[in-house]
């Protein structure tokens, strides 16, 4: 198990995956073409990653209270956002390479 301090990581995960889930539940999304849905996933990821980064910065504004495996929460959020961005960009590349 990965050690963490503070409720920050749980809040960040709820915001990210909850946001992805809510965007997927919008009524007009299922009627969009698949390529547009892929771009919507990319846009949603970027927006939620920025929101989570600033949320993590806000949670640690008065000293380090929220850490994951000894690292500041905002550094972990930034690293995971880059990893997920790479995966999503591979999906976008696969869809648009035709």
pLDDT of residue 95: 87
pLDDT of residue 75: 94
Angle at 12 between CA 46 and CA 69, to 5 degrees: 110
| Total domain count, the chain | 1
User: 65 lies in which domain range?
Assistant: 4-96
pLDDT of residue 57: 93
Q: How many CB atoms lie within 10 A of CB 49?
A: 19
pLDDT of residue 49: 96
pLDDT of residue 1: 81
pLDDT of residue 55: 94
pLDDT of residue 18: 95
Name the stretches of the chain with pLDDT < 70: none
């Amino acid at each position: 198990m990965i050690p963490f301090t503070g409720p920050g990581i749980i809040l960040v995960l709820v915001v990210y995956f909850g946001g992805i889930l809510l965007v997927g539940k919008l009524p007009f999304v299922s009627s969009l073409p698949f390529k547009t849905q892929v771009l919507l996933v990319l846009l949603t990821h970027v927006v939620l990653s920025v929101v989570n980064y600033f949320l993590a910065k806000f949670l640690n504004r008065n000293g380090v209270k929220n850490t994951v495996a000894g690292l500041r929460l905002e550094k972990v959020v930034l690293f995971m956002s880059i990893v997920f961005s790479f995966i999503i960009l591979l999906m976008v590349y696969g869809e648009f390479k035709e």
